[in-house]
Amino acid sequence: MAKKRFRRIIDLAMVVLLISSLAAGHALAGSFDDGGLLRLINRWETLPKDYVPEEMILPEVDTNKAGQKESIYMVPCAAAALEEMFSAAEEDGYILLAVSGYRSYSTQSLLFKNKVDSVGSRETAQKTVAPPGASEHQSGLAMDVVSTNFRYLNRDFLNTPEGKWVARNCCYFGFIVRYRDGWTKVTGCNPEPWHIRYIGVEHSVAVTRLDIPYETYAAKARTLPEYVLSWGTSELFYGLVGDMLRGDETNAEELRRAEEMDEDIRWETLDRITALYDSWE
């Protein structure tokens, strides 16, 4: 797919994100704090037992089974992005199906207990089923997807045309494939090519281009000021986080210093440093 088409998809997705986020009372994109789109959720950084997203809706997409409709709630911005992604997949000849969206702490507790009972140990169980509080599904920002040609939550989904399409294109709608081959030591989870997590388009494109686990990305990105996280571009995050991973904090530190200055200087600094990394066109 050409870069110009990717750019149009990103522009559309950003409009969807802006409208739905404002309507729902959510921050635009940039917070790692409670309820933020970028919040890291895993076995080491968990959600509290009583955490429930402020607002959720049912995305207008098909499900794997008729009875799963009530299991695919998401926060509004993620739901809107999922609808756009499913529509784009269909235009390319692939029919995606939703399986599981929001999942409560208590539901996750039951699933995890059943898995522990099945495999005999907590350590083994949590590689395939997140412990309660450690599931991204509780945030309302995650969805498990399959297709009409492959209806199983199985790692072979990656080898299907639909699975390859998701891996290649979901980032242009704000999602990342959260658990990939070779990342288990970092994420704590075995590969799950069917599990996608919404973090907003500009960050998802950067994470995918960097080809790193979200834990690795978050470790660097969360040190950036909120104004950068909310209004930066995918090119900025790709270049800036890449530099930080290589040990070069020069531009990141300048953005941090600008946070303490007046608004005009802050935005001028963001524009200038963004231009250093702008290679899209």
3 state DSSP class of 149:
coil
Q: 175-179 and 142-147: which strand pairing?
A: unpaired
Half-sphere exposure of 148 (CA within 13 A, CB side): 8
Q: Residue 191's closest CA among 173, 167, 219?
A: 167
Active-site annotation holder among 192, 226, 253, 268: 192
Using the 8-state DSSP alphabet, how is residue 63 labeled? B
CA 150 to chain centre: 23
Between CA 137 and CA 101 the distance in angstroms is: 6
How many Cβ atoms from other residues are within 10 Å of residue 118's Cβ?
11
Catalytic residue check, 192: yes
Catalytic residues: 192
